């Protein structure tokens, strides 16, 4: 497989996960497209860490759909944490 395809796939999965995560958490109106991609990519890292820690599994071996749900979980965790911190200020 072409290495650039993997990077493009990460960006697409991250963008979708960030966008859907912002819809789920109610932050879509305050975020732009670029922020959704960034949240999705960071969420994928967070979700991968959480999945690996609690499930003992390597989510990268489970395919694109599992990777998407892991990224979505991480995006929601990230957005929820940011909302909690913003509320306290």
* pLDDT tens, residue order, the chain (89 aa): 455 567 777 778 888 888 898 888 888 777 777 787 788 888 888 887 877 787 776 555 566 777 788 888 888 888 888 888 888 87
Distance, CA of 50 to CA of 70 (rounded, Å): 9
Distance, CA of 67 to CA of 75 (rounded, Å): 12
Residue 5 has a pLDDT of 60
**Positive or negative CA dihedral for 31, 34, 36, 42?**
negative
Residue 61 has a pLDDT of 59
> What is this structure's pTM?
0.76
Residue 1 has a pLDDT of 47
Residue 4 has a pLDDT of 59
Alpha carbon of 60 to those of 9, 14, 56: distances in Å? Answer: 12, 14, 12
């Amino acid at each position: 497989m072409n290495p650039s395809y993997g990077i493009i796939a990460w960006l697409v999965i991250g963008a979708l996960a960030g966008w859907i995560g912002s819809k789920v958490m109610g932050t879509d109106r305050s975020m732009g497209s670029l922020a959704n991609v960034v949240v999705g990519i960071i969420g994928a890292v967070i979700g991968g860490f959480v999945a690996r820690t609690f499930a003992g599994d390597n989510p990268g071996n489970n395919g694109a759909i599992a990777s998407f749900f892991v990224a979505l979980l991480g995006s929601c965790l990230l957005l929820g944490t940011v909302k909690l911190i913003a509320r306290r200020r």
